[in-house]
Chain A
């Protein structure tokens, strides 16, 4: 819905000051998205896929940008391989590289480190932190991995059964719920143990 693939039945979505229902094409050049649940053409090589998407996003020096991302995400070993032949972890890295092609101001990610081993997941998070530090980009992240949320997010929206139940920084949420970490906060919210906090925590 945030990217305009699904039209909202009510309400309004504004990203970078633009109405995403009416003027999504004004901001899509400055947005990007990564998710292991969407795909790229499997028969095309990694290089071909990145080349096509660099052109779709109007990246000016596509070749240099692809070279830089290839280095950042260590894609060199499988740049010439068909995307469909890659492992899940390699695909996730390619999808993240694709998501950073246009140097997005806002990056939406759905479970960005799903199916990655802990070491690679940590490595990817470090790269995302570096990109954020270099560009000041905003990340909008959907994740069930609370360690990831704790590390990457400044502001967390906790949802349960499609409804917003709490909001705050990881530190605020941990304190407010009297837990040790975000994992415990998540479990408390998921198990409906948050009622006692509702009066004081429901965001305006």
Chain B
């Protein structure tokens, strides 16, 4: 038996769950589309009075779609784990040959699938609605996308580590954690608008590099390699830290018998 077989078994389990629940599927599409529509109208309104916005049509739409990549990646990762907690299935999973890193690989895979399912329709819908295609960003879009995905998974690892430690009492972390990062992520405004002390903190957050990089492409037509490398380096650090937090939490859960008690 291979690790691939076990990972694909878990992916299948999450796909079954999606198939059995139309509300879950609709919700995945609903929020990105709604966000895109609202920011599309805001962009249209601001473009008539702001030279900055007018010079790069779609900057807010691109920003909201990319922010949603980060949000979707993290929430899909954490929620899939939470599904196991809700259904009291963690103990049954971990008495099977499944290993912790295989669970993480399955969570990453389903997170990627759910993120794409959520974002692509919104991105496509922006083309007829606002005559803006995020795909015009070209290859840099892939760089932004991957960096935000990886950060979403890293934060997801921290969240599930806390879920393992504190159980369902910590489930609201799935929704709120990512927004702690939003003010310093420079999604809709440049980093240099922040107070000096907050700028220092913002440069510790990979999204600041991504969104500054996005604006560089849209306003100046250049791909800032320095920002790209900065985002990758920070993401690797957070991913390793997130992985360590999860493995430590799993170790503690086994020591205290929490795997049997996590659930409804």
Contacts and interface: CB of A to CB of B under 8 A. Distances in A.
A38 B91 contact: yes
Q: How large is the interface on B (under 10, 10 to 19, 20 to 34, 35 or more residues)?
A: 20 to 34
Given A5-B254, A29-B97, A44-B13, A55 B6 contact: yes
A44 B92 CA distance: 15
23 contacts: A6-B260, A25-B97, A28-B95, A28-B97, A29-B1, A32-B95, A38-B88, A38-B89, A38-B260, A39-B92, A41-B13, A41-B17, A41-B89, A43-B17, A43-B21, A44-B13, A48-B13, A48-B16, A53-B92, A53-B96, A55-B5, A55-B8, A56-B10
Main secondary structure of the interface of B (DSSP, over half): helix
B1 A51 contact: no
B89 A6 contact: no
A6 B97 CA distance: 15
Contacts of A45: 16, 20
Contacts of B98: 56
A58 B95 contact: no
Interface in A4-44: 4-7, 25, 28-29, 31-33, 38-44
A42 B86 CA distance: 9
Q: Which of B16, B88, B96 has the most CB of A within 10 A?
A: B96
Given A28-B96, A29-B1, A39-B92, A52 B254 contact: no
Contacts of B260: 5-6, 38
A89 interface: no
B97 A58 contact: yes
A143 to B, nearest CB: 18
Contacts of A7: 254-255
Contacts of A140: none
Given A3-B95, A52-B16, 11 more contacts: A28-B96, A29-B97, A38-B89, A39-B263, A41-B83, A44-B13, A44-B20, A45-B20, A48-B16, A52-B12, A56-B98
Nearest to B99: A25
Interface string A169-194: 00000000000000000000000000
B51 to A, nearest CB: 52
Nearest to A54: B9
A29 B97 CA distance: 6
